[in-house]
Amino acid sequence: MASVLVVEDQAENRDLMAYLLRAFGHDVTTAGNGAEGLEEARRARPDLMVIDIQMPVMDGLELVAALKVDPALAPVPAVGVTAFAMVGDRDRILAAGFDGYISKPIDAMTFVGELEAFLATDDRKSRE
């Protein structure tokens, strides 16, 4: 079981991601934009962060940039979630500091497994 922070401005998507993660036994906290997400990340110290790219106030690219300069939060895997389909977005997302990304719409059958892969990678690194 891991603690996961979900940062997403659309309530329907946020609720779906939180529901799926909880169904697999994970602890979930949520935030509705990047600024709230940064605050919640500092408070909750999650094991993994799932971050929408397009959000008001502070978007996902700005949020991950802020997370990756915070020594306490930089090691926490940050997975982007985006509907962007344009060529080059993958590079832009990874260049911004994300550890990986998942495309929208969320596939309920594979979503949690895809996220857990980032936790497994992190575990391996910490045991080395």
Site for Mn ion contains 40 (CB under 5 A): no
**Residue 98, both tokens:** 């994300």
Q: Which of 4, 5, 9, 48 binds Mn ion (CB under 5 A)?
A: 9
99 binds Mn ion (CB under 5 A): no
Q: Which of 3, 54, 62, 66 binds Mn ion (CB under 5 A)?
A: 54
33 forms part of the interface with Mn ion (CB under 5 A): no
User: Which residue's C-beta sits nearest to Mn ion?
Assistant: 54
The 3-class SS string of the chain reads CCEEEEECCCHHHHHHHHHHHHHCCCEEEEECCHHHHHHHHHHHCCCEEEEECCCCCCCHHHHHHHHHCCCCCCCCCEEEEECCCCCCHHHHHHHCCCCEEEECCCCCCCHHHHHHHHHHHHHHHHHC
**Which window, 19-27, 49-57, 77-85, 97-105, contacts Mn ion (CB under 5 A)?**
49-57
Q: Is 103 near Mn ion (CB under 5 A)?
A: no
CB-nearer residue toward Mn ion: 47 or 52:
52
Positions touching Mn ion (CB under 5 A) are 9, 52, 54-55
